[in-house]
Amino acid sequence: MSRSRRPARLVALIASTAALALAATACASSSPATTPAAAGGATGVDLSSVTLRIGATGWNSFEAALKVAGLDNTPYKVKWSVFSGGNLQLQALQSGALDVADSSEIPPIFVAVGGTVNFKVVGVQKANTLLQELVVGKGSAITGVAQLKGRKVGYVQNTTAQYFLDKLLEQAGLSWQDINAAPLTPSDGVAALNSGSIAALASYGNSIITAHADGATTIGSGQNILSGNFPWEASNSLIANASQRAALIDLFVRLNKAYAYIRDGHQQAYAQATATATHETVSAALSQFEAGEKQQPTQIVPTSAAAIASEQSVADSFSSIGALPKAVTVSRFWSDALDADLTKAIAASAVPSS
Strand residue runs (E) in 222-342: 229-235, 299-301
Same domain? For 28 and 159 the reply is: no
Contact 54, 39 (CB under 8 A): no
Q: Is residue 353 part of a domain?
A: no
Kind of pairing, strands 119-126 and 132-136?
unpaired
What is the predicted pLDDT for the residue at 352?
A: 65
Contact 130, 60 (CB under 8 A): no
Same domain? For 123 and 241 the reply is: yes
Q: Is residue 100 part of a domain?
A: yes
The total number of structural domains in the chain stands at 2
Q: Which of 221, 237, 253 is the last residue of a domain?
A: 221
Same domain? For 193 and 243 the reply is: no
Same domain? For 58 and 146 the reply is: no
| Enclosing domain of residue 201 | 132-221
Same domain? For 47 and 120 the reply is: yes
Which residue type does 152 have? K
Same domain? For 239 and 178 the reply is: no
Same domain? For 241 and 317 the reply is: yes
Question: How big is the chain by its Cα radius of gyration, in Å?
Answer: 21
Q: Which of 221, 241, 270 is the last residue of a domain?
A: 221
Q: Is the dihedral of CA 39, 43, 49, 54 positive or negative?
A: negative
Provide the percentage of residues in the chain whose pLDDT is more than 90.
82
> How many whole angstroms separate alpha carbon 121 and alpha carbon 36?
27
How do residues 173-211 score in pLDDT, each as one tens digit? 999 999 999 999 999 999 999 999 999 999 999 899 999
Q: Is residue 286 part of a domain?
A: yes
Same domain? For 81 and 184 the reply is: no
> For 38-76, what is the HEC assignment?
CCCHHHCCCHHHCEEEEEEECCCHHHHHHHHCCCCCCCC
Name the phi and psi angles at 203, rounded to 5: -155, -160
Q: Is residue 234 part of a domain?
A: yes
Positions of the chain with pLDDT under 50: 1-44
Contact 9, 344 (CB under 8 A): no
Q: Is residue 53 part of a domain?
A: yes
Q: Is residue 3 part of a domain?
A: no
Q: Is residue 162 part of a domain?
A: yes
CATH number of the domain encompassing residue 166: 3.40.190.10
Contact 229, 86 (CB under 8 A): no
Contact 246, 12 (CB under 8 A): no
Q: Which of 205, 221, 237 is the last residue of a domain?
A: 221
Same domain? For 343 and 242 the reply is: yes
Q: Is the dihedral of CA 329, 330, 332, 336 positive or negative?
A: negative
Q: Is the dihedral of CA 154, 200, 132, 206 positive or negative?
A: positive
- The SS3 call for residue 115 is coil
Same domain? For 13 and 89 the reply is: yes
- What are the C-alpha distances in Å from 215 to residues 83, 130, 155, 162? 25, 18, 18, 22
Same domain? For 253 and 300 the reply is: yes
Q: Is residue 1 part of a domain?
A: no
Same domain? For 33 and 93 the reply is: yes
Name, in order, each residue with C-beta under 8 angstroms of 66's C-beta and a sequence gap of 6 or more.
Answer: 72, 254, 255, 258
